[in-house]
Amino acid sequence: MEERNAIEVRELTKRYGGVTALDRVSFEVGCGEIFGLIGPDGAGKTSLFRILTTLLAPDGGSASVNGLDSVADYRQIRRQVGYMPGRFSLYADLSVEENLSFFAALFGTGIRENYDLVAPIYSQIEPFRKRRAGKLSGGMKQKLALCCALIHRPSVLFLDEPTTGVDALSRGEFWDMLDGLRRCGISILVSTPYMDEAGRCDRIALINEGRILGIDTPQGLVDGFDEGVYELSGDDMSGLLARVRAERGISGCYPFGAVHHVVAAEGFDAVAFVARIAAEGFSGVSMQCIGAGIEDVFIKKMGR
């Protein structure tokens, strides 16, 4: 028997009045895969999640989870998926333990029956099980929310920006937890605005303004980048930006943290270029070839 995809999205469209939030989006997520949706705020990620979790009806196209249609079979989908909304949405006035057992009870189960699944995560917050959820730190809230989304043993997990507003260390831990869940056979659709988290996914879709810009493994996307990327820095950063953009043969230059990224076709002579602009009066200029990152891919695809 052919293995079924956990999630299949075909030509999915959603409009709010005149705004198109999702424009003929298609992708599929295999069983046991961590699939990342990478895109800025307002890209349509949350609309996509709400359709897949049966909270929102699409205007066109179809979405299915475990082979069940998001509109026709919504009841069955609700039993099989776990959803962690982008906003903390547990009961702040209930304790950690009460929240978890409440969400277990909603699905007709209990903490004990599913303890093995959540144990690696829950054990970290268990010392605080009597504490009200509202009084937890950001990282602990997020762990509790993940536990609550998992407590009924879903086969597909939807995580809408789970790491937004969480410190870098907790974010790393969180992704480690997702790796553990994948080993348990759970398929995960996760969205994030952080490009650096893309590398933790099996495959990613770049999404912007309701359109998918590309779908591949993180490495595949980077390998598909057919131009050279250079890191440029100097004393007069804003002057450099203007100067490089005026140069012929350079397809893009944009600020990237403390440096600029310069995208140029194969055969671009960086050494000669640095010498040339140093002669024009730019001091402290350094330029070296680096590999393209997901963000470079994103910016390039977005510009197209």
List of residues contacting another protein (CB under 8 A): 50, 53-57, 74-75, 78-79, 81, 83, 85, 87-94, 98, 102-103, 105-108, 132, 148
Burial class (CB in 10 A: 0-12, 13-18, 19+), 272: exposed
Nearer to another protein, 44 or 85 (CB): 85
Q: How far is the CB of 239 from another protein (least distance, A)?
A: 47
Q: How far is the CB of 47 from another protein (least distance, A)?
A: 10
Q: How far is the CB of 16 from another protein (least distance, A)?
A: 10
Alpha carbon separation from 155 to 9, 66, 220 (Å, rounded): 17, 8, 27
Nearer to another protein, 132 or 301 (CB): 132
Strand partners, 7: 29, 65
Burial class (CB in 10 A: 0-12, 13-18, 19+), 244: buried
Q: How far is the CB of 118 from another protein (least distance, A)?
A: 16
154 close to 123: Cβ distance less than 8 angstroms: no
Nearer to another protein, 26 or 95 (CB): 95
Nearer to another protein, 95 or 233 (CB): 95
Nearer to another protein, 14 or 203 (CB): 14
Q: How far is the CB of 86 from another protein (least distance, A)?
A: 9
Residue 2 neighbours by CB under 8 Å, 6+ apart: none
Q: How far is the CB of 102 from another protein (least distance, A)?
A: 5
Q: How far is the CB of 178 from another protein (least distance, A)?
A: 19
Q: What is the largest CA-CA distance in the chain?
A: 74
Nearer to another protein, 105 or 242 (CB): 105
Cα-only R_g, the chain: 23
**Parallel, antiparallel or unpaired: strands 187-192 and 156-159:** parallel
CA distance 53 to 80: 10
Alpha carbon separation from 258 to 22, 65, 169, 246, 293 (Å, rounded): 34, 42, 22, 21, 16
Nearer to another protein, 129 or 301 (CB): 129
Residues 190, 194, 197: CA angle, nearest 5 degrees: 65
